[in-house]
A and B are shown apart, each in its own frame.
Chain A
Amino acid sequence: MTATLLSINGLTKAYPGVIANDDVSFDILQGEVHALLGENGAGKSTLVKMIYGLVKPDSGHMVLNGAPYAPPEPRAARASGVAMVFQHFSLFDALNVAENIALGMESPPKMGDLATRIRKVSEAYGLPLDPFRTVGDLSAGERQRVEIIRCLLQDPKLLIMDEPTSVLTPQEVEILFQTLRKLSAEGTAILYISHKLEEIRSLCDNATILRLGKNVGTCIPRDTTARDMAEMMVGDTLMTPKSAGREFGPVLLEVSNLSMKSPGAFGTSLKDLNMAVRQGEVLGIGGVAGNGQDELLLALSGEILTPSEAIKLDGAAIGHLGPNQRRRLGLLAAPEERLGHAAAPDMSLTENAMLTGAVRQGLERRGFLNWSKARDFAEDIIAKFDVRTPGAGNAARSLSGGNLQKFVIGREVLQTPRVLVVNQPTWGVDAAAAAAIRQALLDLAAGSTAVVVISQDLDELMEISDHFAALNEGRLSATRVAAELTIDEIGLMMGGAHGMEVAHG
């Protein structure tokens, strides 16, 4: 277990305006689980893309098993025994498991033989999976199994995993970790990318920490506290958002027996949802991705209409009202997808301020638009939410993810909503910006707004929610007081292991 498998020496990759990786060096030993830690934008993804042959480094070199290693493309990387499971799955919903796996192979065997091999590998590693099920029907955890098995069929020496647990329930994470430990015990090295520190402490042997593209240190996760690792990642002491003790007022938003068909073919329909949010309350809604979060946001924002009695604001039925009528009444929303949904990528920030601000900010009069007022509003958002941009005239797509997210959240917060619904408010946002966004949501609640936070980040939900409920296959669990919940209970609310039996002996 001491021989070096992959040695990375001085890898550097620059993109226009940003150095993604600056002289990064470290070694991965055979059979170890090596964590690659860092905030969003620290350069983790670029680094693994270079290892996997997707990106060519500007300078530096790698040595794999004593031989120089410079994969020109992923196929070469796979041939050398390097496999990767991506954060976003590349599977076809309409095909079955075996067909999906065959698509990624150089010379796929006969479907029957492949199915047998899939069964064998999946059972050997405690990842039961039926090769003939349609991928569209699988849960996120099961889809990840497909990706992992696809890699394992290549018999890899190094398995790269990019944020694998972001789509899993705590129970599913435990199953995954058992599989990874087993692989590691058999001599497969695993490069594990994450920013979830407790997971890394329980799984990984070594950790390399990146900050702004540089290797800023290594540590042995078991012997380091999560807080110390976090501060190495951020390079600063961390601020935790504070919520003042709040009094809850009357119920502002009430959802009763809401059922809604998903607009997408493989989306999740909402089934008989019930919830109520009071003035001054933060309701956290957890759940694994793809269990109805997007649909819930669409129903609440008014992008999809529902029976009018299903959604009530201040006791008045609003299910039949469109987005702007709801805005007028004080129900605002911020969707998950920043580019293309919450904001138009090629439009300026001023134009994007108009997108949701027209009604409440009085940017429109009898159909005619007041652009100077819209620019003032955009500049107000930029100033109050510390959005880093040269000015309101810049296109939304020129902003980094975190900055655009601050803009999108700020745009709604500054409109003094009565009820604010946000989906994944800090997804892909660096720790400092995430803390600022969470603080803004808490301040909003303190100012007597009802806030609904839909998120897949349990730590975030536990930090800011007063009450917690979980979405699972389009159903919403009963609402519980957040402070009284254990991780196990939360996991069960999220659907436990989604019926994936554990096959570890």
Chain B
Amino acid sequence: MLNLEKRPTPSQKWAYMTPVLAVLGTMIVGGVLFAALGKDPVVAIRTIFWDPLFGEFAFYYRPQLLVKGGPLILIAIGLSLGFRAGIWNIGAEGQYIIGAICGAGAGLAFYPLDAWYIFPLMILCGALGGMLWAMIPALLKVKFGTNEILVSLMLVYVAEQLLASMSLGLLKNPDGMGFPGSRNLKDYPAAFNDEIIAGSGMHWGVVFAFIAVIFAYVLLNRHMLGYQIRLTGQAPRAARFAGVNPARLILFCLGTSGMLAGLAGMFEVSGPSGQVSIDFNTGYGFTAIIVAFLGRLHPVGILLAGLLMALTYIGGEIAQGQLGLPGAAIQLLQGMLLFFLLAVDLLTNFRIRLARKGAA
């Protein structure tokens, strides 16, 4: 029989190895799954993990990696701060939507004025919108002890209704001939979040994602607030003893994650998506939860995990198109990734021993 035995000190080696093992495990079991669906597993895995990077049309897919990875990383960095402290913001999707509405709304209010300050103002409004949306569960938790998981999740649905109402009402394109959705910001240069280097996929949101990674790294490793976040997550009573103010920490963690999610939404609506529409949100806010954990809640890990998750998105689309794999199979693959990570994760804190037969 196998026995699990707690390690006195978590293994550093395994902490770095588990994500790699999880990816390998996902590839193997995913391959079996694809084989069961009647596809060649090697081709399927190659299509998903290899072709977007090095295949024939990689020049087209590589920029997509940044376009899809940017918002995931930005949101996941924010979430990871809270998750480290045991504060569970599950509603990043809602904050993402509100950030998009506020950001796009601020830009469209000035249409068709052409001024340098419009785009910075949109960034500010997007960040503020996301932050305020996240402050609702934060304040309710601090004041009344409500559960932030439920409140933040419920607010996603409220935000979705708001999004629908905005695309049909207040923000609807007056020249859109009755179709739902706002003006396309691609046609409004002062508000358009264009690629910084043409053809690279690098827009301002990606830049902000990289800044967020560095910011989070410094915060967690070098700053008192980051230390308090880690301490609160690991030992809440010790945190209280160390003088941590739990209410302040809740406001900071939820506020920051909401702000980053709002930013991601704003950069998305003003760039790749272009307009506020009913189906604007595509689940980045939820996928970012997986990215945060896949990246071990570590800023650099999240950077890599975000790119990996973006890869499965893009590769998944190619596989759907070229091999006719069902979309659900791709989602299964993504879920498997988190599942394997959590399973293999045990190895960091535990070691496996073959149990001897008990003598007695």
Which residue on chain B has the smallest CB distance to residue A68? Answer: B360
Judge whether B8 is part of the interface by a CB distance below 8 angstroms: yes
A335 to B227, CA, bound (A): 20
**A394 in contact with B227 (CB, 8 Å):** no
**B241 in contact with A341 (CB, 8 Å):** yes
Within 8 A of B (CB), among A316-341: 322-325, 327, 333, 335, 337, 339-341
Judge whether B4 is part of the interface by a CB distance below 8 angstroms: no
Stretch with Cβ within 8 A of A (4 or more), from B87-95, B153-161, B218-226 = B218-226
Judge whether A271 is part of the interface by a CB distance below 8 angstroms: no
Judge whether A105 is part of the interface by a CB distance below 8 angstroms: no
Stretch with Cβ within 8 A of B (4 or more), from A145-153, A229-237, A353-361, A443-451 = A353-361
The residue that B237 contacts in the complex, of A340, A346, A354, with Cβ under 8 A, is A340
**A343 in contact with B238 (CB, 8 Å):** yes
Question: What's the nearest-Cβ distance from chain A to residue B95, in Å?
Answer: 26
Judge whether A58 is part of the interface by a CB distance below 8 angstroms: yes
A398 to B223, CA, bound (A): 26
Residues of chain B contacted by A395 (CB below 8 angstroms)? 8-10
Question: What's the nearest-Cβ distance from chain A to residue B47, in Å?
Answer: 41
Judge whether A59 is part of the interface by a CB distance below 8 angstroms: yes
**A358 in contact with B224 (CB, 8 Å):** yes
A270 to B148, CA, bound (A): 32
27 pairs across A/B with beta carbons < 8 Å? A57-B358, A57-B359, A58-B359, A60-B360, A61-B360, A323-B241, A325-B243, A327-B243, A340-B235, A340-B238, A342-B241, A344-B231, A344-B234, A344-B239, A346-B10, A354-B227, A355-B231, A355-B241, A356-B241, A358-B224, A367-B223, A367-B224, A368-B224, A369-B223, A394-B9, A395-B8, A398-B8
**A398 in contact with B9 (CB, 8 Å):** yes
A59 to B225, CA, bound (A): 51
Of B231, B237, B239, which is in contact with the most chain A CB atoms at under 10 Å from its CB? B237
Question: What's the nearest-Cβ distance from chain B to residue A249, in Å?
Answer: 28
Question: What's the nearest-Cβ distance from chain A to residue B162, in Å?
Answer: 37
Question: What's the nearest-Cβ distance from chain B to residue A336, in Å?
Answer: 11
**B238 in contact with A342 (CB, 8 Å):** yes
Judge whether B46 is part of the interface by a CB distance below 8 angstroms: no
Which residue on chain B has the smallest CB distance to residue A324? Answer: B243
Judge whether B114 is part of the interface by a CB distance below 8 angstroms: no
Question: What's the nearest-Cβ distance from chain A to residue B192, in Å?
Answer: 37
Q: Assuming A324-B243, A341-B241, what are 9 further A-B pairs, CB within 8 angstroms?
A: A57-B359, A58-B356, A58-B359, A340-B235, A340-B237, A355-B242, A358-B242, A395-B8, A397-B9
Residues of chain B contacted by A354 (CB below 8 angstroms)? 227
Judge whether A345 is part of the interface by a CB distance below 8 angstroms: yes
Residues of chain B contacted by A323 (CB below 8 angstroms)? 240-243
Judge whether A93 is part of the interface by a CB distance below 8 angstroms: no
The residue that B224 contacts in the complex, of A58, A343, A369, with Cβ under 8 A, is A369
Which residue on chain B has the smallest CB distance to residue A322? Answer: B243
The bracket for how many chain A residues form the interface is 35 or more
A280 to B239, CA, bound (A): 30
Size of B's binding interface in residues, CB under 8 A? 25
The residue that B238 contacts in the complex, of A59, A302, A355, A397, with Cβ under 8 A, is A355
A269 to B124, CA, bound (A): 48
A341 to B360, CA, bound (A): 39
Judge whether A70 is part of the interface by a CB distance below 8 angstroms: yes
Which residue on chain B has the smallest CB distance to residue A326? Answer: B243
**A337 in contact with B237 (CB, 8 Å):** yes
A57 to B5, CA, bound (A): 17
Question: What's the nearest-Cβ distance from chain A to residue B309, in Å?
Answer: 27
The residue that B222 contacts in the complex, of A327, A337, A369, with Cβ under 8 A, is A369
A58 to B9, CA, bound (A): 25
A302 to B241, CA, bound (A): 8
Known contacts A346-B10, A355-B231, A398-B9: A335-B241 contact under CB 8 Å: yes
A395 to B240, CA, bound (A): 20
Judge whether A301 is part of the interface by a CB distance below 8 angstroms: yes
**A341 in contact with B237 (CB, 8 Å):** yes
**A346 in contact with B234 (CB, 8 Å):** yes
Judge whether B245 is part of the interface by a CB distance below 8 angstroms: yes
Q: Nearest 8 pairs between A and B by C-beta?
A: A324-B243, A398-B8, A56-B358, A344-B235, A323-B243, A70-B360, A341-B237, A395-B9
The residue that A303 contacts in the complex, of B9, B231, B240, B360, with Cβ under 8 A, is B240
Within 8 A of B (CB), among A382-430: 394-395, 397-398
Judge whether A347 is part of the interface by a CB distance below 8 angstroms: yes
A335 to B240, CA, bound (A): 12
Within 8 A of A (CB), among B231-287: 231, 234-235, 237-243, 245
Judge whether A499 is part of the interface by a CB distance below 8 angstroms: no
The residue that A347 contacts in the complex, of B234, B243, B356, B360, with Cβ under 8 A, is B234
A343 to B240, CA, bound (A): 11
Residues of chain A contacted by B239 (CB below 8 angstroms)? 344
Question: What's the nearest-Cβ distance from chain A to residue B219, in Å?
Answer: 10
A371 to B224, CA, bound (A): 11
Known contacts A340-B237, A340-B238: A351-B227 contact under CB 8 Å: yes
Question: What's the nearest-Cβ distance from chain A to residue B17, in Å?
Answer: 19
A302 to B242, CA, bound (A): 10
**A368 in contact with B360 (CB, 8 Å):** no
Judge whether A364 is part of the interface by a CB distance below 8 angstroms: yes
Within 8 A of B (CB), among A278-325: 301-303, 322-325
**B235 in contact with A341 (CB, 8 Å):** yes
Question: What's the nearest-Cβ distance from chain A to residue B351, in Å?
Answer: 9
